[in-house]
Amino acid sequence: MFQSVKERRTIRKYLQKDISEDLLNDLLETSCRTATVGNMQVYSIVVTRDALMKEKLAPAHFNQPMVKQAPVVLTFCADFNRFSQWCRERNAEPGYDNLLSFLNAATDALLVAQTFCTLAEAAGLGTCYLGTAIYNPQLIIDTLGLPELVFPVIAVTVGYPDERPDQVDRLSVEAVVHRERYHAFSPEDIDRLYCTKESLEENRKYVAENKKETLAQVFTEVRYTREVNEALSANLLEILKQQKFL
Ligand SMILES: Cc1cc2nc3c(=O)[nH]c(=O)nc-3n(C[C@H](O)[C@H](O)[C@H](O)COP(=O)(O)O)c2cc1C
């Protein structure tokens, strides 16, 4: 059971083979069966196939090579624009320029993105999420012409796999599932839950290459630092204001 999910891994290299319009449409249409807040479908999916458009999008994703290499790039957006327009054109006053509406629309967009990825992987395609969409939203907004109340929350590159990397580790289910009530972890629990991850050869190498003492330090001091998180958060808030969500 669940084989295509159990065997999944992120794919970052793709064959130079197009995804047929029929298959892509089928995946998109089926993805839209995903649950959605109040059945409002407050998301939009922008499909990029054009090489020039991919080139314009690439810097927004820190030039990660998948953007130009993948036959298709999808940008999933939180979108209260269309729904608000529908309201106004039906003598109804929309009240969706607020944080709650952004979270609802972002939830919708993320859920539909995950359904798309699950279906695409079951159909033999490979996908890679690009969380960089929320690091450089302005460039994406400008390139794709996103209006007020539309905000890019995640992008996905998709194509036929040209690699089969090893699956990466996961914490045991005990680390993420709480029964009935949330339970705090003791230092011993943390040791036990993280010991496999910390002892993996590639992670040990990673720590050494970055000249750090622990794997956690690679996260806090190299990959996801406070300074960068705070700067990107400030930018995010500015652009959410500009897009009229705040
Ligand atoms: C929200 C989100 C953002 C991500 N952003 C990127 C990204 O910008 N570049 C990338 O190469 N992988 C990205 N990934 C993929 C993760 O690195 C990957 O899922 C994780 O390392 C686990 O590997 P797996 O998917 O092969 O199991 C992202 C995944 C998620 C869920």
CB 105 within 8 A of CB 36: no
Rounded Cα–Cα distance for residues 196 and 169 (Å): 8
- The domains of the chain are located at 2-166
> Which pLDDT score is estimated for 163?
98
> The whole model's pTM is what?
0.98
pLDDT band at 209 (very low <50, low <70, confident <90, very high): very high
Contact between 150 and 79 under an 8 Å Cβ cutoff? The reply is yes
State pLDDT tens for residues 65-89. Answer: 999 999 999 999 999 999 999 999 9
- Per-residue pLDDT of 112-151, as tens digits, reads 999 999 999 999 999 999 999 999 999 999 999 999 999 9
Ligand 1 neighbours by CB, cut-off 6 Å: 9-10, 12, 64, 128-132, 154, 168
Q: Cα(183)–Cα(200) distance, rounded to whole angstroms?
A: 27
For atom 20 of ligand 1, the residue with the nearest CA is 10
For residue 12, report the distance from its CA to the centre of ligand 1, in Å: 10
Average pLDDT over residues 217-232: 98
The CATH class given to the 2-166 domain equals: alpha beta
Residue-wise burial string across 23-36, b where 16 or more C-beta atoms lie within 10 A, e elsewhere: ebeebeeebeebeb
Confidence of residue 167 (pLDDT cuts 50, 70, 90): very high
**130 φ, ψ to 5°?**
-120, 95
